[in-house]
Amino acid sequence: MSQIKVGETIPSMKLMTATAEGPKEVSTDDLFKGKAVLFAVPGAFTPTCSMKHLPGFVQHVAEMRAKGVERIICMSVNDAFVMGAWAKDQGVNSEIVMLADGSGAFTKAMGLELDLVGRGMGVRCQRFAMVVQDGRIVSLAVEPPGGFDVSRAEAVLASL
């Protein structure tokens, strides 16, 4: 599958979110109603993801909300239990939806997978950020391998 593009619609499927009550199923159709920011990381608890990527979005929640963002979603190819533990470790509250793409099906449907099999991590998602309005991608920023610039919270905030 080729990479999803600006103007295209988010694939319709069911995924799991980490909540205070445990894993909960959610539909992408519901999750991406209104204006949402989705940022994805290759793995929960990994260095750049834990020290820079997620903390940047936690820091800028209020500013994004002020620009009309209804939902900020952090996604990784991890299960909902891992995403829940990572949220707790990082002090993430309900302001950010912790979305688990456990099997990588959503990532694959968007053509944003990253093969880290050679590094013992399996197939994950690329590091990216997108703005979605009513299920349609408004902007998409995908990092080059090892990069951390265009998907940072500050870059997304500047694009809103």
Residues annotated as catalytic (active site), given as ranges: 49
Please state, in angstroms and rounded to a whole number, the distance separating the CA atoms of residues 129 and 141.
5
CA distances from 134 to 31, 64, 94 (A): 9, 17, 21
Strand, coil or helix: 38: strand
Q: Which uninterrupted H or E stretch holds 41?
A: none
Please state, in angstroms and rounded to a whole number, the distance separating the CA atoms of residues 92 and 84.
9
**147 in Cβ contact with 53 (< 8 Å):** no
Please state, in angstroms and rounded to a whole number, the distance separating the CA atoms of residues 98 and 45.
13
